[in-house]
Amino acid sequence: MNSGLTTHPTYQQPQLVRGFEHIQRYWDKHLNCWAAKILPGEFYVTKGKEMIATVLGSCISVCIRDPKAGVAGMNHFMLPSSGEFSTIDWGCSSVSSATRYGNWAMEYMINAIMKEGGRKERFEVKVFGGGQVLANLTDIGQRNILFVLSYLKQEGLETSAVDVGNIYPRKVLYMAWEGKVRVKKLASQHNQTIVRRERDYLDQIRHRDEQSDIELFE
Query: How far is C-alpha 49 from the geometric centre of its chain's CA atoms?
Result: 19
Contact 165, 146 (CB under 8 A): no
How much is the mean pLDDT over the chain?
A: 82
Helices 140-154/93-115 angle, 10° precision: 50
As a whole number of Å, the CA-based R_g of the chain is 17
What domains lie within the chain, and their CATH numbers?
33-206 (3.30.1330.200)
Mean pLDDT for 61-70 is 98
Q: 138 falls in which pLDDT band (50, 70, 90)?
A: low
Per-residue pLDDT for 3 more than 70? no
CA atoms of 92 and 89, how far apart (whole Å): 6
Based on the residue annotation, tell me whether 59 is a catalytic residue of this protein: yes
Residue 26: which residues within 8 A CB-CB, separation 6 or more?
2, 3, 4, 5, 6, 34, 35, 37
Has residue 150 got a pLDDT over 90? yes
Structure confidence at residue 32 (pLDDT):
93
pLDDT band at 64 (very low <50, low <70, confident <90, very high): very high
CB 186 within 8 A of CB 170: yes
| 78-113 pLDDT, tens digit each | 876 543 333 444 333 444 556 677 888 899 999 999
Q: Which of 10-14, 61-65, 202-206 has the highest mean pLDDT?
A: 61-65
DSSP state, residue 162: E
The candidate with the shortest Cα–Cα distance to 63, out of 200, 161, 140, is 161
Active-site annotation holder among 33, 59, 63, 92: 59
Nearest to 64 by CA among 179, 163, 154: 179
pLDDT in tens, 174-216: 999 999 999 999 875 456 677 677 777 666 766 554 443 433 3
Residue 155 pLDDT more than 80?
Answer: yes
Give the model's confidence band at 1: pLDDT under 50 very low, under 70 low, under 90 confident, else very high. very low
